[in-house]
Amino acid sequence: MGFVVAVVGATGAVGREMLATLEKRRFPVSEIVALASPRSAGQKLTFNGKETTIKATTAEAFKGVQIALFSAGASVAREMGPAAAAAGAVVIDNSSAWRQDAQCPLVIPEVNAAAIKDRPRGIIANPNCSTIQMLVALKPLHDAATLRHIIVSTYQATSGKGHAAVEDLLQQARALANGQPVKPTIFPGQMAQNLLCDWKPSAMEGGEGYSEEETKMVFETQKIMGDLTIGVSPTCVRVPVVNAHSESIHARFARPITVEEAKSLLRNAPGVVLDERPYAPGAHPQPIQASGKDEVFVGRIRRDFTDPNALNLWVVGDNLLKGAALNAVQIAERVIAE
């Protein structure tokens, strides 16, 4: 049995990854409906060896669609998500539009797959890329020892800001190499050979001084884990890496947990690759190794010097795959399994 699947934002970085992931995982697609902005309508793309014409994203375009994967931004998701759901599609949205809606489950299949079934709006939200990889790594530990507080610092790749941001980084790097002035086109300042906090200020109540990326990690963690008492203290930073996010995580639990227990829990955890190499320069998960991979890589698990209930970890994952496209397709796989 095949399904009619729409990909909204098909020409974007994540949209293209969604199409590639559907192909790679042999999702049972009987027809692909590639949707994008009106300026992209009429362009061609290839899916499963067949040429497909991109159409403009309109309510009428969802007629007959059973699964709609959205990666076109929050404004498009708010307007067209309900239209797709009204047409009979199960909507899986990668933007922030529906994450805080109580009637839309926020899902990481390795963490809270059961939430998929409760979707009154017909819309399932894909979490933020940084939240996804963090919770894939922490869920097995949470199940065993109960998370109390997470302190996380992210090192986020430029691809998380889109293809144009990657081009901006590369252009800046070329300018520096040639002794020319840097002229940012996407970033708010120099990205090459630099670090930036480049997200909008948070609009969350009490979130003064935080970026929206940081407060997303707070709310999303509590919603996905189903526990509003879990504390999250985030600092999000953009780094001059093309792809794959990294995170330094301090996790405090309700009881003492040893390094060996944590490794035992993570060795066979779904979606996790555990790096057990002893510390040495360069012996740790790296963005260049995680880019293009489906799994979340976890390494440098260390006891905390001052708190027996805490561990420190290093977590790396491909933000376009598990952080976006792959997670959405995995949700779709669970939906059709129903």
Contact 33, 65 (CB under 8 A): yes
End-to-end, the C-alpha distance of the chain in Å comes to: 13
Residue with tokens 């047409």: 87
Strands 296-303, 272-274: pairing is parallel
Catalytic residue among 104, 142, 236, 245: 245
Q: In what order do the strands lie in the sheet with 147-156?
A: 231-238, 147-156, 245-253, 310-317, 296-303, 272-274
Cα separation of 180 and 333, whole Å? Answer: 49
In angstroms, what CA-CA distances link 126 with 123, 129, 242?
A: 10, 9, 22
- 104 given a catalytic annotation: no
Residues paired with 237 in a beta bridge: 155
Catalytic residue among 104, 129, 142, 236: 129
3-state secondary structure of 325: helix
- 142 given a catalytic annotation: no
Positions annotated as catalytic residues are: 129, 245
